[in-house]
Homo-oligomer: A and B are copies of this chain.
Amino acid sequence: MSVAIKISVNVGLYLKEPQNSTLGKKILKNSIILIDKNGFEAFTFKKLAEEIHSTEASIYRYFQNKHILLLYLFNWYWEWVNYLIIFNTKNITAPSVKLKIILHSFLHAQKENPSTEFINESALHNIVISEGGKAYHTKMVDDENSKGFFSSYISLVNYVSKIIKEINPTFKYPNALASNLFEMSNNQVYFARHIPSLNEVSKKGEDVSEVEKILNYFTEILLEKRLK
């Protein structure tokens, strides 16, 4: 027996909910594997179809195109992080402790007990890190934002922003700080792995924990109480 959590994603992001069928789950599972392995640019529905012994046409019945599929995966990830954060900060009252837990949860999201058999959270996290802002760095941003395709990310940022305000109500830019914490996390991990002269993270394999230290160092200084 187990307690299953089901993450749901903006209905505009799929033509047919992939989590409700065997083929759909296979699409999710193997798209994550393939994108993680070869990168988003090299990923095609044809290759995915071959991988899962299905056809392009069948995949197109679930997702309009690979960009929408990527958005689906990002949304799933953001929702999953949202859940993790809420869960892990439950019953914690001190906002500064909450923030620390959030940063930890976010950076180690992959190590948390995977909840869903067809999603490899670790690979998905790596995609989020490696594919950077490809979810929203397109010409369709404005349209997609108006459809709510980034609302999971926005709500994540808002949640953190609220905690920042609790820690230090005089801090002027809680939203900017919150969004930067998420962006910076991924970026600095990516730099550590690929362009290491851009930061001070040395230990390979422990890059995530090192970045966590950096983020804690930054936030502690930034949010120390004092009138500005």
Contacts and interface: CB of A to CB of B under 8 A. Distances in A.
A180 B176 contact: no
B175 A217 contact: no
A18 B201 CA distance: 37
A11 to B, nearest CB: 20
Nearest to A131: B137
A70 to B, nearest CB: 12
Given A134-B137, A139-B38, A221-B221, A175 B194 contact: no
> Main secondary structure on chain A at its contact with chain B?
helix
A12 interface: no
B41 A194 contact: no
Count copies of this chain in the complex: 2
The size bracket of the interface on A is 35 or more
Interface string A116-153: 00000000000000111110111101100100001001
A150 B195 contact: yes
A199 B173 contact: yes
A179 interface: yes
Given A41-B139, A132-B133, 11 more contacts: A42-B139, A145-B194, A173-B214, A176-B199, A176-B201, A179-B187, A179-B191, A180-B187, A183-B183, A217-B228, A221-B222
What are the 6 closest A-B residue pairs judged by CB atoms, nearest first?
A: A39-B139, A176-B199, A179-B198, A132-B137, A132-B133, A141-B194
